[in-house]
Amino acid sequence: MMKKSISASKASLVLFLCQMISALDVPLDLSQPPTITQQSPKDYIVDPRENIVIQCEAKGKPPPSFSWTRNGTHFDIDKDAQVTMKPNSGTLVINIMNGGKAEAYEGVYQCTARNERGAAISNNIIIRPSRSPLWTKEKLEPNQVREGDSLVLHCRPPVGLPPPIIFWMDNAFQRLPQSERVSQGLNGDLYFSNVQPEDTREDYICYARFNHTQTIQQKQPISVKVFSMDSLNDTIAANLSDTDIYGAKPVTERQPILLTPTGSTSTKVELRGNVLFLECIAAGLPTPVIRWIKEGGELPANRTFFENFKKTLKIIDVSEADSGNYKCIARNILGSAHHVISVTVKAAPYWITAPRNLVLSPGEDGTLICRANGNPKPNISWLANGVPIAIAPEDPSRKVDGDTIIFSHVQERSSAVYQCNASNEYGYLLANAFVNVLAEPPRILTPANKLYQVIADSPALLDCAYFGSPKPEIEWFKGVKGSILRGDEYVFHDNGTLEIPVAQKDSTGTYTCVARNELGKIQNEVRLEVKDPTMIIKQPEYKVIQRYGQVSFECIIKHDFTLLPTVIWLKDNDELPDDERFLVGKDNLTIMNVTDKDDGTYTCIVNTTLDSVSASAVLTVVARPNPPFDLELTGQLERSIELSWIPGDENNSPITNFVIEYEDGLHEPGVWHYQTEVPGTQTTVQLKLSPYVNYSFRVIAVNEIGRSQPSEPSEQYLTKSANPDENPSNVQGIGSEPDNLVITWESLKGFQSNGPGLQYKVSWRQKDVDDEWTSVIVANVSKYIVSGTPTFVPYEIKVQALNDLGYAPEPSEVIGHSGEDLPMVAPGNVQVHVINSTLAKVHWDPVPLKTVRGHLQGYKVYYWKVQSLSRRSRRHVEKKILTFRGNKTFGMLPGLEPYSSYKLNVRVVNGKGEGPASPDKVFKTPEGVPSSPSFLKITNPTLDSLTLEWGSPTHPNGVLTSYILKFQPINNTHELGPLVEIRIPANESSLILKNLNYSTRYKFYFNAQTSVGSGSQITEEAVTIMDEAMASRQVDIATQGWFIGLMCAVALLILILLIVCFIRRNKGGKYPVKEKEDAHADPEIQPMKEDDGTFGEYRLFSFVSSAPF
């Protein structure tokens, strides 16, 4: 949000408008009657320990002299050594501190200021010393009262001046707590609507504070003892008289009765402008609630307040319209009581039109008007120079007409001070107004060439304070030779001020004020400058930040270049905290490590000498909520309880839900479990309980930021023991051996036991056999083994919980089986149907279920390749297994190799394992297409031929019938030429292609065939001779000078090497080349070229694969 404060021009407007409605001030160098400028209040309460100062200041020309009256007679201060008057002043100082007594100077004082042109008088000033008397001695009897009855403790403070402020405290100077039930009345008494045992104490002390003398008086302590009749034994009850206690009936609820005010009606008179206090305090049990209404109308809005727990109605600034009947209603569940207060608002006199000073020139006319109102209507009386006008010297120019004095053709001798007195039974008003008859030419009081600076689009007020008699006429001009200013764009005030309501930049310039009357003319020039307004172009924005984060507010401004702005930051309309975490930059405010106390409104204020702008933004600091507190358990039942709590501070992020956890102090102390959760608006919950659990609860609050710390644990609550409500779950019976049955279950948790001595009754019997249940009771286990059972037979099983108080409800039965054994027989009638070269389908007959001896899990097919029909080599036998779940009698065997011999068998499977295998079944797969040749190598290129060598396919997948070779030329742009196909016998492994084109690149495609079809192909590329472009580039290189030089250098190095070798040989040594030849004399172990590597691997493969079968 952004706001713009009052500019300097607007403040000036307020000042000038105030001047405009005031009387024309007479310069102090001119003759004028006295004017009272300062005086003490009408009702002046003084401190009797200090000097009394009664103020009376006045101005006039010549300076006035002062005199005083006391109680209506002249007060001769020269005859009282304790009284002095300040120099050039009428203020009296009564010396009390040097022996004087304030009481001796009580009375009504009035000051008169007088000079040759008249006399002004002050108000009647009533001097009274403040008093703070001591409490009178009194014997206070102890208050013995029955629980539930009402009680009033009377304060009755001493009468002081002014009245004291009353409050109740204890011996430790701690204020006594007050509430709807116990509260202090307007008269200072302490009211109890009903007393409770906790009200018993011996130190109810009423204090009276006298602010004027800064003293506090203390009443003797009052003792209160509250008796509960239910707790009194017969002896105590017999010793208590009716006087000691208020009745002997048991505590009962009572409908309200009013303790104050008494009766059904009362009256109240209040003066206009004061604060109206109305009070109703009621007794009753339960404590009554007070409500206020105005009969026949509404309580005044914005001026009505409720105090003292709505027992006091407060209306501020009352007026006659607030008169009427006000009803208070006290209500509880048994009934109500009411009281009507008739309020009448009277009024001391108040001004409608106060008389104002008149400055007239000889021969002029004028009026003094004195109009006031009040209830009752005030009387108006006039005085002249402090004397009732009826007995004042006559003045032929003066005529009194009720509240108006009319002056006609005044002369200098008509100058005087007139007093208007408006009074009724509630007070009076006194106003001085002079008539000053002068003949003066105009004078301008505003300094010459005064500079005014304002902000554009705001009012400009150019002052032309003047005086003259007769009253001068004022005219304004812009510039030295400008024309007179007129029109709606200007406002001309009676005090001479020129107002430009909306000043613009072109309003800048010099303005001339001219004042003239019949005695002369005068002018004055002032200057006006209009400045650009200051603006905040980037305002701070609303921020939400987590605790301990960092936040920054921006405040970027634009201003008139001739004005120097200052920027200050406020927090909640106060200075920023003196904390190094607050960093104020040129255009921003940064807060580091934000804490909760940084929450608030931050305001950027930009001030210049002419204007001020501000912008505010709210910082909301959010955090996880504070933990709940004051956990309370109520409504305790065997299986439920109500938990309530008070939420902690939500830290500006609403609580979304509460999580309730519990601890079982009996079974799992220190371990907290989730119980339930409720919405964040709920603060009570009904919780289900289990027997035999020592519960404690805690509550965790959750908001968008996270979870609070857990609350403090509630009080513990131990539920009574009971039979178990439930039985173990997940009961199973599975044998671990062929001759046993293992019964397992999930044990109950501690709080599920419902009582001490938790055990389990385990029962079983064979299903479909007329057997009795066999049972055993066990404890602290979750498994029981039954031995000597038949193999894999069904059993009915049940597990029942019990404790010292009895059994849980009858459990449900489950079916289990004793232990399994391996299947006894193999599947029969195994058949294989070959679908294609890689897939076969196998069939079998299911085995009888009795021979399975367990849970049938399915069948397993074992199969393996015996040999490839296209090779004479053996392979390592690798068996493969396929499992078919359930009672399935067929299955598919994928991934077989073509043209191969396979064997398989089938076995049945149960939970114990596999049964015997069926006899091996042999089947063969048909031929398939071969894999690609193992390699293709192209050697011995000539100008028109190439030699191709290849290896047979790694997986022939049948009998090879031939090889297919396809090739085509490739030109320089990689375009393919015509495709040529050649069929080659299967027993060949090489081929020489002749009659090829010179200098041509060829691409070859090669694959093998069986009777089924062609296999995948292998590709290669080769050229008949070197490419022509490459030969051309070699010729080009050979003609280069650098290449010729390099070759010459190489030749020279070879020549030097030969010479060195020749010399060494003559000396009997071997030259290096010879050594190499000796080291590699056997050509069989020469390393193959890179081009020959594949061929060597193929030979090795061929050798291995062609080993005799």
Give the residue from 52, 7, 60 showing the smallest Cα distance to 30: 60
DSSP of 852-889, one letter per residue?
H-S---EEEEEEEEEEETT-S-------EEEEEESS--
* Number of alpha carbons in the 13 Å side-chain half-sphere of residue 775: 10
- Peptide bond preceding 848: is omega within 30 degrees of 0, i.e. cis? no
Look up residue 1069 and give its two tokens.
């040594």
Are the beta carbons of 731 and 698 closer than 8 angstroms?
no
Are the beta carbons of 873 and 1105 closer than 8 angstroms?
yes
Residue in the block written with tokens 């907290």 = 672
Percent composition of the chain: helix, strand, coil (DSSP 3-state, to 5)? 10, 45, 45
Other CB atoms within 10 Å distance of the CB of residue 1066? 8
Look up residue 636 and give its two tokens.
């305790």
Position 1032: which residue type?
Answer: S
Position 766: which residue type?
Answer: Q
Look up residue 581 and give its two tokens.
């975490």
Q: Is 890 helix (H, G, I), strand (E, B) or coil?
A: strand
The separation between CA 864 and the C-alpha centre of its own chain, rounded to angstroms, equals: 73
Helices then strands, counting H and E runs in the chain, come out as: 7, 86
Instruction: Say how far apart CA 919 and CA 884 lie, in whole Å.
Output: 19
Q: What is the pLDDT of residue 10?
A: 46
DSSP of 922-962, one letter per residue?
EEE--------EEEEEEE---SS-EEEEEEEES---S-EEE
Kindly list the distances between the CA atom of residue 529 and the CA atoms of 508, 512, 533, 558, 559, in Å, as whole numbers in the listed order.
Answer: 5, 15, 12, 19, 15
Total residues found in the chain within this entry = 1109
Are the beta carbons of 638 and 720 closer than 8 angstroms?
yes
Other CB atoms within 10 Å distance of the CB of residue 727? 22
User: Chunked in runs of 10, what are the mean pLDDT values of the chain (1109 residues)?
Assistant: 45 41 70 95 92 96 95 93 93 89 93 96 95 85 92 92 93 92 96 95 93 87 87 48 45 91 95 96 95 94 95 96 96 95 96 95 95 95 95 92 94 94 96 95 94 95 94 90 84 94 93 94 94 96 94 95 95 95 94 94 96 96 95 91 95 95 93 95 94 95 95 94 93 93 92 90 92 93 94 94 94 94 94 94 94 94 90 71 93 93 95 94 93 92 92 90 93 84 92 90 93 92 69 50 79 86 62 37 34 30 28
- Peptide bond preceding 62: is omega within 30 degrees of 0, i.e. cis? yes
Other CB atoms within 10 Å distance of the CB of residue 172? 6
Q: Is 126 helix (H, G, I), strand (E, B) or coil?
A: strand
The separation between CA 842 and the C-alpha centre of its own chain, rounded to angstroms, equals: 72
Antiparallel, parallel or unpaired: β 806-807 and 588-591: unpaired
Are the beta carbons of 604 and 555 closer than 8 angstroms?
yes
DSSP of 214-237, one letter per residue?
TEEEEPPPEEEEEE-GGG--HHHH
Are the beta carbons of 547 and 622 closer than 8 angstroms?
yes
Q: Is 756 helix (H, G, I), strand (E, B) or coil?
A: coil
Cα diameter, the chain: 170
Mark 790-812 as b/e (b = at least 16 C-beta within 10 Å): ebbbebbbbbbbbbebeebeebe
Look up residue 780 and give its two tokens.
């602290």
Are the beta carbons of 149 and 244 closer than 8 angstroms?
no
Are the beta carbons of 887 and 856 closer than 8 angstroms?
yes
Q: Is 614 helix (H, G, I), strand (E, B) or coil?
A: strand
Q: What is the pLDDT of residue 975?
A: 83
Are the beta carbons of 300 and 293 closer than 8 angstroms?
no
Q: What is the pLDDT of residue 1109?
A: 25
Phi-psi region of 10 (alpha: psi -120 to 50; beta: other; left: phi over 0): alpha
Mark 505-529 as b/e (b = at least 16 C-beta within 10 Å): eebbeebbbbbbbeeeebebebebb
Q: What is the pLDDT of residue 476?
A: 94
Instruction: Say how far apart CA 453 and CA 530 lie, in whole Å.
Output: 6
Are the beta carbons of 335 and 297 closer than 8 angstroms?
no
Antiparallel, parallel or unpaired: β 335-353 and 265-271: parallel
Reported as type and span, the H/E element at residue 13 is helix 8-21
Contacts of 233 (CB under 8 A, 6+ apart): none
Contacts of 586 (CB under 8 A, 6+ apart): none
Look up residue 525 and give its two tokens.
């020039």
Predicted TM-score (pTM) of this structure: 0.55
